[in-house]
Structure formats: C-alpha cells, structure tokens
Amino acid sequence: MDRMKELVELLNRAAEEYYQKDNEIMTNREYDDLYDELLELEKKEGIILPDSPTKAVGYAVLSALSKVRHERRMLSLDKTKEMAKLKDFIGENEGVLSWKLDGLTIVLKYNGGRLIQAITRGNGEIGEDVTHNAMHFKNVPQRIAFNGSLTVRGEATISYSDFKRINEKLPEEEKYKNPRNLCSGTVRQLDSKISAGRPVNFYAFTISGGEEFYKDSKAKALDWVESLGFKHVGYKIVNKDNIEEMIQWFKKEIEGFDIPSDGLVLTYDSISYSISLGETSKFPRDSLAFKWEDEIKETILREIVWNTSRTGLINPVAVFEPVDLEGTTVNRASLHNLSIAEALMLGVGDTIKVYKANMIIPQVADNITRSNTFIVPDKCFVCGANTEIEESGGIKFLYCSNPNCGAQKIKSLTHFTSRDAMNIEGLSESTIEKFVVEGYLSNYMDIYGLKAYGDKIKAMKGFGEKSCNKLLEAVEKSKNCNLENFIYALGIRHIGLANAKLLSRHFKGDIERIINASEEEILEIDGFGGIMARSVIDYFALPENIMLLRQALQILHIEKPEGNTDSSLNDMTFVITGEVYSFKNRKELQSYIEKKGGKVSSSVTGKTSYLINNDNTSPSSKNKKAKELNIPIITEEEFIGMFRDE
C-alpha cells in the first residue's frame, strides 16, 4: 500500500508538471515503467486509490482561459509495446493504423460552414477555449464546404525544425524543452498575436458529423475531412496478416519524420462496431496505442562530462562505448539533471543500458553495475568557480555560481542590456554574439568601450552609420541609471528586479553597504531567504566582480531610490501570482504597490501581508504556503477595493 501511495503521488506530480506547467521531471519511459508497476500492484491488491492516475483522465485546467465542458468525454488510450497484443486486438477485423502525434489535443467545432469553437482536451471532461488561437493555426480552415454540424478532433503540433528555429531566438530562460511544450505554451496563450507568429499545424484523427459522406468507415471519414481542407494524421489500412509489415513501414518513416510522434494508434475501421464496444472509465475499447519497442543495448560508461550552459546550469552527459541504435551510432546521452545521475548510481566502467526515446533521443535506461562512484564537481570546468546544488520540485540541479563564467558570457551580456536592466537598445543577443566573436566584448564594461570600434561596427553586415550611432547613443544614455536596475543588470543569481529594489531600498541606495553586507543583514530584508542572501554574498566575494564594479562606478551616474510621498502601504509586503486583469500586467501592479511604499516579494513567508491571486482556490505552491502561514489570499479586485485610490 505504501508503494502504491508513493507511485500515485509521483505519477500525478509528473503528469501535472508535464500537462499544466510544460515541464518534465522524468522521461516517458520512466513514467510508463512506474505506471505499469502501479497497475500490477492494483491488480494484485484489488485496490485502486481515489487519485490513482490509472483511474483519472488528465488534470484540472489551471489557466485563465474560459472553461468549456466537452459534449463527449475525451479518454486516454490503453497502450502496448507487444506485436502479439496488436494482432490479438485486430483479430478478424480491419483496422486503421495511424501516427500518434505528440502535441496538444484539440476539438474543433463547425456549424454552418464556419469554425465556431476550439477547445483543448483539458482534463477530458472540461477543456479550455482557445478559439482565438486556433484561427491562426497554419492549416485549419475557418470556413468549410459543409453546412451541417461537424466536430473534428486532432492534434496541434509544432515540427522539430520549427521548434529549433523558434527556440534559437528565445532568451535562455524562455527556451522550451521540446516541441510539445512549445506547442502547448503557444496554443494556450491569452494573446493570439503570439500564437499567430508560431507555425502550429493541426492533424485530424477522428470526426463526428457528416456521416452520410463516409458511411461506416473511419478511414473514409479521414479522407472526407481532408477534402474539406484539413490534414489528417496519416494512416494505413491493416489486418492481422499485414499489420507487422505496416508497423515496419512506420518505423522506417519516423527516422526522418519532422512531426513529433510517440507511437502509433490502432483502431477498428468500422464506426458502428467501435460504438458497440463501449468504453471503460478510462479507455475506449475500440482503440489501442502502440509504443515503439525500444531497442536497448548494453555498453560501458567511459566518462561523465559536465557542460556549463549560458544560464550557469551544469548538465551531466554520459559518454559511453559507441553502440548502434535504430540505425545510427551513438556514444553520448544527456542525464538531464543531478537527481537522475544520482538515481542511476553511475560510475566510470559501469555497464549501462541505453536506448533512443521515441527512436530519436539517446537515453540511459538503467545501470547494471551501480558502482555509485561518480563525483559531483565542486568547481565549474569552464571558470573554476564554486558549484551550487539547488532543488526545485524535488529535483536537484547543479549550477556554476559565477555569472561572469565564460560559458555564460553572451547570456550575461544580453541580460545586462535588457529593458529592466540597463535598457540598451540595439544590443540584441545575436548582435552581442557577433561582437564577442569579433573580440569587441568580453564583459559588461566593454560595452562602454564600443565607441573605439565604431568604424568596424559600421562596416559589419546589418549595420551602417545610422544604426551604429543609434547604438552608441543608447550605450551613452544607459550611464544614467537607477541603482535597482544596475543591481539587477549584474545578473546575481536569484536576484530579480523586485529583489534588487528591496536591496536598494533596505540599504538606502548605498551600494557600498550592499557590497559589504553580511548574510545576517541581508536576511533582515523581508522576502530574502538563505539562498538569495548567499548569492549576494558570493557574487561580491569574487575579485573579478568587484574589479568590474569599481570600473563601472567611475563612469555611471547611479540614482538612489526616490522616497515615497505616499506611504499608505508602508511596512506591508505583497506577493503577486497568476494572471491580472485590472492592471496591464503584474509589473504595473508591483509598481503601484511600491509607489505607495509597499514591498513586493517573490516568495510567501511569515512576513508576507497579502498574497494577491485571482484564482484563490488554486493548488499552487504559493497558495498552499499562504494557507499554512495563515496569510490572507486576496483577489486583484479585493486589493483594489482595499488599497487603490478612488
């Protein structure tokens, strides 16, 4: 029973992270293995816990999008990796074998030839209305040549090539882990301008309505809906004699397939037969998902390489004896984070099992030897600074503590020039990267020496005299700045703009006091915890950081924080989470609070006066913490009624 409870909690958390937060805390293979273990335990014990993922269908919708109840439940599919089970399933029937695409399931509704609504799968019973975004999908017709009522279910996806192109343009902290997360984040945007700028495609897999055009065949239904202007998932007609051959066809196709897919779907072609079978509480009885049987091979671990990224995150990578997997030779696999490396109990010389997730991405499946002799580096291999272990959502991550680390240079410079920092227009990440390559930039103080390279910059592709002069004017203008923006620009880990403001005000605008502050003094600031305080101390403890800072103070004109004439929110600390509606955004609400003498913190503590959250029933960590500490949770409307001027 204890193991069942543990599995239910872990699987539900993994599903919530994946579906609601576009985050992954375990691989698909790990999830499937744990899910199968839970199924076996439930069969053995004859018990299914109330919140078991084997019983539930998805998670509750948590976004601010309008909620819509589905006319018909959207169930999950039972799955298998066994060919024998597929043959047994199809029996003497004819079936439709199609791609199982890895995106976001969407229901499109048409009436009178017009698209009237688009709804996400949500929790299977209640979805989110994303009609405003579906209007901008690249291949969804807004009008069709059929005037009756039509419902088209399908998968919204973003291709691997488009994912790579979009991700390359995003700042490091905004990059998506995979195409599915990017698609979900795009489709569920409140602002349709964002989704319109991203190539989301929709692939139909089943329809309801217009039955007179395709009679009793799902395959003919897909052909008919294609004639209306849709794309469908692609299929092959199969039976027990040719299904194995057709699966091999799909297996070869996926090697160059640009659309994310995590398997196949087998369903009976006959619609009437499918309806007669009914459904369980979780699965329809007419369809079965086929997950690729992973080709797993044993090899020897030769090294664990620790790669420092632009954000300071140090990722472990397993390097092993080369093996042939799914037609290619591989010798490296990401271990993703410190927790996974620890769970595998790795050590050089261990015999490990490797495979390709979805036949594409190399992964370490298991460690047979489990010597557990690997050593977590205490120094960054790029700059030699101390490393830090941080934990988020129960997952451990390793970071380089030095924001000026060479691996982080471009990211650090991009952050320094950003709007909320020094606000230097014209220095985009791509421009900074060019300047670094040319040797014009090495640290943030080099920005103020760009004038010496003026003639060379004017001659660079994409530049000219006008754009170069504009850039140099922006650099000169940035010399007049607020202390809080400068502190934020330094890129001290865990210190966002709000915390930079708190630091600045607590120490009365005196940067020397901030530089020399003790951990105890910083901990006196409401909203600051031990990790944040230590980050500040560690930053100013590095001689190279102090050297650059002294140079900056000689040329910058830093303004101290202005005193507040309105002190109605003095001694009050607020935490803001979720969407806001009356204010333009959370920054505007934060600015309003600060102008009235209040403070805005990023975390709920015993010193928090109010948590502002328009969804005060949300199971978010901030809501839970506020309830534990008896901190009042108020909506934006309640805040306005309590504190805003008439």
Q: Which CATH class is domain 406-559?
A: mainly alpha
**pLDDT confidence of 464, banded at 50, 70, 90?**
confident
Helix (H, G, I), strand (E, B) or coil at 101: strand
At 76-93, the pLDDT tens digits run: 888 888 889 999 999 999
Q: What is the pLDDT of residue 393?
A: 62
In contact, 95 and 268? CB cutoff 8 Å: yes
Over residues 198-219, mean pLDDT:
94
Cα separation values, 156 from 228, 291, 367, 477, 562, Å: 18, 20, 36, 45, 49
Q: What is the pLDDT of residue 422?
A: 94
Q: Measure the CA–CA gap between 107 and 212, rounded to whole angstroms.
A: 21
Over residues 91-112, mean pLDDT:
95
Q: Is the pTM of this model over 0.75?
A: no
pLDDT at 247 over 50: yes
Over residues 43-48, mean pLDDT:
75
Look up the CATH number of domain 2-45: 1.10.287.610
Q: What is the pLDDT of residue 470?
A: 92
Superfamily of domain 297-379: Nucleic acid-binding proteins (2.40.50.140)
The more confidently predicted of residues 404 and 143 is 143
Superfamily of domain 573-643: BRCT domain (3.40.50.10190)
pLDDT at 592 over 60: yes
Coarse DSSP helix, strand, coil percentages of the chain, rounded to the nearest 5 percent: 40, 25, 40
pLDDT at 620 over 80: no
At 352-397, the pLDDT tens digits run: 999 887 666 788 989 999 999 999 999 988 888 899 898 866 788 8
Q: What is the pLDDT of residue 281?
A: 77
Q: Measure the CA–CA gap between 641 and 554, rounded to whole angstroms.
A: 46
Q: What is the pLDDT of residue 150?
A: 96
pLDDT at 57 over 60: no
Tell me how far apart the terminal alpha carbons of the chain are, to the nearest angstrom: 58
- Degrees to nearest 5, angle at CA 638 with 634 and 642: 110
Residue of 79, 100, 218, 501 with catalytic role: 100
At 319-353, the pLDDT tens digits run: 999 998 866 788 999 898 898 899 999 999 999 99
Q: Measure the CA–CA gap between 550 and 545, rounded to whole angstroms.
A: 9
Q: What is the pLDDT of residue 63?
A: 44
Name the maximum alpha-carbon separation found in the chain.
Answer: 84
Over residues 225-243, mean pLDDT:
94
Q: What is the pLDDT of residue 299?
A: 95
**pLDDT confidence of 646, banded at 50, 70, 90?**
very low
Topology of domain 67-290, per CATH? Answer: D-amino Acid Aminotransferase; Chain A, domain 1 (3.30.470)
Over residues 445-471, mean pLDDT:
91
DSSP 517-535: --HHHHHTSTT--HHHHHH
Q: What is the pLDDT of residue 18?
A: 67
pLDDT at 418 over 50: yes
Cα separation values, 42 from 258, 289, 364, Å: 38, 21, 28
In the residue annotation, 100 being an active-site residue is answered as yes
Residue spans per domain, the chain: 2-45, 67-290, 297-379, 406-559, 573-643
Half-sphere exposure of 86 (CA within 13 A, CB side): 27
**pLDDT confidence of 563, banded at 50, 70, 90?**
low
307 forms beta bridges with 315
**pLDDT confidence of 4, banded at 50, 70, 90?**
confident
Which residue in the block uniquely carries the two structure tokens 């990440």?
429
Alpha helices in 199-242 (DSSP H): 218-227
The letter for the amino acid at 125 is: E
Over residues 448-459, mean pLDDT:
93
Q: What is the pLDDT of residue 450?
A: 94
The more confidently predicted of residues 11 and 486 is 486
Percent of the chain surpassing pLDDT 90: 40
Q: What is the pLDDT of residue 327?
A: 67
**pLDDT confidence of 59, banded at 50, 70, 90?**
very low
Mean pLDDT, all residues of the chain: 86
Over residues 581-595, mean pLDDT:
79
Over residues 453-479, mean pLDDT:
91
